[in-house]
Amino acid sequence: MNAIKLFASCLVMGFGILVLHQSHVGTGGTIGLALSTSYWLDFPFYLTYILINVPFFLLSFFAMGRSFTLSSLAAILLLSAISSVTGTIPALDTPVWFGTVFGSVLCGIGMSLLFMCKSSLGGTTILVLLLQKTYGWNPGIAMFSLDVLVVLSSWYTIGWEGMIYSAVSVAIISFVVNLYKNKIAKRLTQEKEIQAPLHPREA
């Protein structure tokens, strides 16, 4: 069942990324960095996404543990595989604003479903968790700061207008994930309650 949910979340994410890519718009996080790099080098998104994640996974393996690393690696490889297929779909002639909104909503839904599967898309998420674990940084502020840096760097490849749309994309994705936060918390709480009987209290 978790495998099906993981596939569904990555499928939704894959189509969201496709719409953003066809609109020549970026976003935050590793996905935004991979999109900007793919525009700059004219490489397929799935290839730049995998390459950018390599150093983060090396960091995760030694700092965050094998279980977390393998779970995130599965999601990234699946998303990359889906993106390699969706990338062959002919571009749709849609306004940039529509592509930004629609693509970001899909990414937000896919990301929320992924969180419910207790997985992540690696990259900057790994760095944020490491900063929290090592230095006690606020994860929300750390993630926002990294998103700002990624969006600002997108100016070089997609210009000021594209950078503004990228900032809008970050806001929309955050808004959608926030709508699902109660369901995400409920899902994680239910899993803890199910696992609780497996660890009886000591007498």
188 vs 117: CA distance, rounded Å: 9
Res 4: pLDDT: 84
CA atoms within 13 A on the CB side of 28: 20
Residue 104: partners with Cβ closer than 8 Å, 6 or more residues away:
16, 20, 27, 168, 169, 172, 173, 176
108 vs 173: CA distance, rounded Å: 4
pLDDT at 198 over 90: no
> What predicted TM-score, i.e. pTM, was given to this entire model?
0.82
Q: Which two tokens stand for residue 5?
A: 């949910």
68-94 pLDDT, tens digit per residue, is: 778 788 888 999 999 999 888 888 888
98-120 pLDDT, tens digit per residue, is: 999 999 999 989 888 887 777 77
52 vs 138: CA distance, rounded Å: 24
Res 2: pLDDT: 74
pLDDT at 53 over 80: yes
> Model confidence at 185, in pLDDT bands (50, 70, 90)?
low
Res 69: pLDDT: 78
N- to C-terminal Cα distance for the chain?
A: 35
159-179 pLDDT, tens digit per residue, is: 999 999 999 999 998 888 888
**CA nearest to 111, candidates 188, 16, 23, 1:** 16
